[in-house]
Every structure is written in C-alpha cells, then in structure tokens.
A and B are shown apart, each in its own frame.
Chain A
Amino acid sequence: MRVLDTSGFALQALWRYPLRTVMMLLAIAIGVAAVVALTGVGEAARRYVAGEFEALGTNTLIVLPGKADTSGSGLAGLLIGETARDLTIADAQALQRDRRVLRIAPIVVGGGQVSWRARSREVSVFGTSSALQVIQRWEMAAGRFLPELDLDTASPVCVTGHVVAEEVVGVDSPVGQWLRIGDTRCRIVGVLEQGGMSGAFNMDESVFVPVASAQQLFNSPGLFRIIIETRTREDLEAVQRFVIDTITDRHQGVEDVTVIRQDAVLSTFDSIFGVITMALAGIAAISLLVAGVLIMNVMLVAVAQRTDEIGLLKALGATRRQIIAIFLVESAWLALLGSACGIAVGYSLAFALSRAWPFLNFTAPPWAALSGVGIALVCGIAFGIMPARRAAQLDPVLALSA
C-alpha cells in the first residue's frame, strides 16, 4: 500500500466521523495549547526578571550588610552570637576611593509621611546619591535628579516619583515646591518618569533625598545596601574582593558583608525560572498524556465500530501490517492536526496576554511548540498501537458476519 493511500484512507475515515474527530482534535489542541501558553508565561516571567536586572547594568555589584552566605563562616558566626555591623557612609566613602569604582550609590530606605499643604501620604523614602539615577537609567519627567554632593553632606532637596508628584503635590509644575517629609522640609528638584515596580518598591510612590539627609530623618547610621558600578566588566571580580577586604579591614577584621554580583544573580534567576518553566510545561504535558489516553479510547471505539470494514479489508487481501498502519496513521493524523490547532490557539493566547500586559512578552520559545507537537505525536502513536494491533488481530470471519 502506498504511503499517500494509507494517509488518504485515514484522513477519509477522520472526515467521515466529524464529531469524534473534532472532539479528539479539541483534546489534543488543549494539551498543546497549554504547553505553548504555560511555557510562554514561564518565559515571560524569566525575561521580565532578567530584563529588570539587566536594566541595572551588568557591571554592578550590590553590597549588603551581614554575611548572607550560608556556607562556611556565616553559620559559625551565627552560632557564636556575632551580629553584623552596620554599613556606614564612611564605608561607602572608603570604597569610592578605588580607581576601578566608577559610581557608587549607597541606599537607605524607610517609610515616611510626605505632605504638601493639606494633603499627605505614606511613601517609601530613599536616601541615595546622584549616581543611582545613572546606574538605574532612570528618566526624568521634570527637573533633574539629586545634585552631586559628598556622601556625608545633607541637603534639603528631594526628587519625587510620578504618583507623589501628581497626587500629593498636584500642581502643574511640582519642581520648586516645598515638600514636608516627617519633620523636615525639602524643595522638589525633579520628578521621575513613570517607572512602575523596581524590585519590591514602587518607584512611582517614592521620594528620594540625599543619603545623609535620610540618615538624619530616620536617625540611623546604617545603610540598606551599596550599589557599585565598576568601570569595566573585567573589574567586577577584583572590585568584589577589594570591597570585602576593605570592609573587613574597617570592621576590625570581621568579614560581615555580602557582595552580590549582578551577573551571578541574573544566572541564578535564570536557572530558577528555567526550572519553573519546565515545571509548567510538565504540567501541560500531563494534559497531553490525558489526550493520548483519549486517543486510545476513541481508537478502540473506532476499531469496534469498524470491525466489518477491517474484516472486509482482510478479505480483500490487507496484511496485518497494513491494518496496523491504517489505524496508526489515523492516530498520527489526529495528533498532528490537533497539535497544529493547539499551536495556533497557544500562540493566540500568548499574543492576547502580551496585549493585555504590554511590558511582558508571553511568546513561547520554539522548543516549546516543537516539544508540544512531539509529545502529542508520540502519545498519539504510542496510544494508537494497542487499538491498531487489536484491529489487525480481528478474525475476518467474525468481523464479516457482524
């Protein structure tokens, strides 16, 4: 029997039972669409997080107070009751002196009540330096970012997020207005462009002041973290060592600081999200397996429905292999057509999601679509074998007398 004839014969059979065929296609399509859409969601999350980190620049180091590393001395430090010393502005200044450090942005963060005339609001207040804007690549909606000051110099100026400017200040040109933060007053020198979330913070509902002013405001000498941008990527490792050595020196020989490299964080997140995506795809693949079992059921029913046809084919001289091929090709067609529909539905879904959340890209990677089709085909054929063999084993005499 010719390949084209086998496949045409199978297609005719599918065409002949439209309801059954549509139901099967639906089951497989849902499975494949789930694979495509769910991997799309996983990939979107991964790309989003990766994008957020890359926005910070790849030449950056983050210095955190305390030894967060769980391997090695960290645990021992905890056991002997050692507590982390604060990172201070003086520490940051010491780091600033190195030639390989291009920019440095210490960060202090706290909650604060900001008010303008009668209106007030609870917002996040960040103490930082002018370098932060450059490192984070923030755009200004109006005015400019914090002025370049020595890190230990306070100044009554502030920069507000977009929401604070609109809803608390609420005048056409907020720049130049005096904003009250807690008990102090400062002049607004700039408003940030709308930015949304950055990490756990909503930049639009934040106020930025010089780091020394923030320390006075919160009455605390500790820094939340220090962000360092090195001159080149190659400097990262050396600067990392330099930071640890310098701080350890300054803290009486106790290494109580953690330095995170941006690229390391990125690759960690990358692998975490890779696993999540695989898990999502795996869940979706289970629905394909269910579709496969369905194929088996329906093909068994098809064999029962068509016993006389099978008997006839045998009487006309069809071999076992031909009967098996006819039914397997039918399952394979179902799987192929079903997964084609599934891919269409899956990518449409991804497209719709991307329209609804424009800052995320839900498009599934090609390997997801390919593996969806692959699993569907393997399922279709694997679960088609049993019914096909049963058909081939039918006794033609019994089949014809039915």
Chain B
Amino acid sequence: MITLRGICRDYSVGEEIVHALDQVDLNVAAGEYISIMGPSGSGKSTLLNIVGLLDRPTSGAYEFDGTDVARLDDDALAAVRREKIGFIFQSFHLVARLSAAENVELPMMLKGDPPQRRRKASVETLAAVGLEHRLDHRPDQLSGGERQRVAIARAIVMRPDFLLADEPTGNLDTRSGGEIIAIVEQLNAQGIGLIVVTHDPQLGRRARRRLQMIDGRIHSDTAKSHS
C-alpha cells in the first residue's frame, strides 16, 4: 500500500541544511500496526507527515496505493488525504466553534456530502467511540479523553485505509490514554492500518511492528530483524 524509496527531507535553518529524513526506505501493508519511536528531532513526525501527504519529500519516491505521489497536484493530494488517511493529533485540533458532530462531519462537508448523510455518519461514528450522548457538545464542554475520541471519530468517518496518530495520548492522563489506545487498536483489528508516533515506550511496545528512528534514519525495524 505504502512504499517509500530513498526518501529525504531537508530543511534549511538559516544557512544550515538539516536532514530531517535521510534515505528512508519503508513498506507498509494494509492493516498493519506500526509504532515509530525515537528521540526528539529524530524525524519521526516528519516521516509521519510525509506518509500522510501533508509534506512532500525533497527527494525519493513515494507510492501510495500504486500511485506515484510526486505526480499528484495539491488538489489530488487533498483528495487522497480526505478519502484514504485519517489523522489524530496530540492537541486534538478540533474546531472550537463547532459541535462534536459538526467536527466529525468536516471531511464529509469538504467532500460535499448532503447534510442528512453527514449527520447519520457522524452519529454512527460518535456512537462507535462511545460519545453518542455528546453529539451537540462543543469541545470546551468535553474532557480531554472525549475530545480525542471526537478527533478519532473525525479521522475514521470517511473509512480511511490508514490512521496516522502523532502522540495521541500525549495530552491525556493514563486512564483516558488507555481508552484511546483501546479504541484505535480495536479499529486496527477491524482492518484499518495504524501508524503511531510516540515517545512512550509502553505504548510503542504494543505495536506488532516497531520502528526506531535516530538522526533521520530508520535505526531498527522489527519487521526486518525478524525476517
């Protein structure tokens, strides 16, 4: 599904060039559960952004679902993000003025789905994350764990192939964090590919496949060491 070959991502900071990613090769199959760990600045978030089509590599080849991503224009990339990829962020990134249901419906609204269909989907999806009683609450009326569950509902409402999570439990207490992990792992069990970036070794160890990144390179990959 996802094939990265020789991916580099350089940033220029002042006169210096920082190699955030340096010759990364990675294959991800459908429905995999991968954790990416590593120290700060090792490039794990950059890798996640590139996989999630939010960022373009400086060099290297990226095939998503058999399509060379470099050949897609911005609008086509936006469509792929909308249909195939769901994002979960550390700080939730809910739109404060919208209710939980409206936040969940955002991707469908951008796609142009009619309001009745959106409402039906958001109600079902929020029920799936246990928030059927919070449909019309705004984010500031929800607890942190509930906000992240709304974010998950928004990420999966389009039934994407992959769920990309950047420190999904970073802003949550242990109990809510545990609930969030239980939800995303259950989604993975239903067949959605799950890639989690985290500092937390306990969380990282739960994944079937674990990547360790150092200085923009994949230092270890459990899939490779076992095979």
Q: Is the CB of A314 within 8 A of B54?
A: yes
B96 CB contacts on chain A under 8 angstroms: 16
The dominant DSSP class at the B interface is helix
Q: Does A312 contact B (CB under 8 A)?
A: yes
Shortest C-beta distance, A321 to chain B (Å), equals: 7
Cα A311 to Cα B75 with chains together (Å): 15
Shortest C-beta distance, A44 to chain B (Å), equals: 45
Q: Of B74, B81, B106, B111, which contacts A320 at CB under 8 A?
A: B74
Cα A396 to Cα B48 with chains together (Å): 13
Q: Of B49, B93, B110, which contacts A317 at CB under 8 A?
A: B110
The dominant DSSP class at the A interface is helix
Chain B residue with the shortest CB-CB distance to A13: B97
Cα A396 to Cα B77 with chains together (Å): 12
Q: Is the CB of B82 within 8 A of A317?
A: yes
A-B contact count (CB 8 A): 67
Give the bracket for the number of chain A residues in contact with chain B.
20 to 34
A-B contact pairs, 16 of them (CB 8 A): A1-B110, A2-B109, A5-B112, A9-B109, A313-B106, A313-B110, A314-B81, A315-B52, A315-B54, A315-B81, A317-B82, A317-B83, A317-B111, A319-B74, A319-B78, A320-B74
Q: Does B79 contact A (CB under 8 A)?
A: yes
Shortest C-beta distance, A314 to chain B (Å), equals: 7
Shortest C-beta distance, A398 to chain B (Å), equals: 10
Within A297-340, the residues touching B (CB, 8 Å) are 308-309, 311-322
Q: Does B203 contact A (CB under 8 A)?
A: no
Cα A321 to Cα B114 with chains together (Å): 20
Contact with B along A39-66 (1 / 0, CB 8 A): 0000000000000000000000000000
Q: Does B65 contact A (CB under 8 A)?
A: no
Q: Contacts A316-B81, A316-B106 known; list 8 others, CB within 8 Å.
A: A2-B109, A2-B112, A12-B97, A16-B97, A317-B79, A319-B78, A319-B79, A400-B89
Cα A320 to Cα B97 with chains together (Å): 22
Chain B residue with the shortest CB-CB distance to A4: B115
Give the top 10 A-B pairs by smallest Cβ distance, nearest first.
A317-B82, A16-B97, A319-B75, A317-B81, A319-B78, A312-B93, A316-B107, A396-B54, A317-B78, A315-B87
Q: Is the CB of A397 within 8 A of B55?
A: yes
Chain B residue with the shortest CB-CB distance to A326: B110
Q: Is the CB of B95 within 8 A of A316?
A: no
Cα A313 to Cα B110 with chains together (Å): 8
B114 CB contacts on chain A under 8 angstroms: 2
Q: Is the CB of A320 within 8 A of B75?
A: yes
Beyond A312-B93, A313-B106, whether A318 also contacts B78 by CB under 8 A is yes
B98 CB contacts on chain A under 8 angstroms: 12
Shortest C-beta distance, A109 to chain B (Å), equals: 73
Q: Does B154 contact A (CB under 8 A)?
A: yes
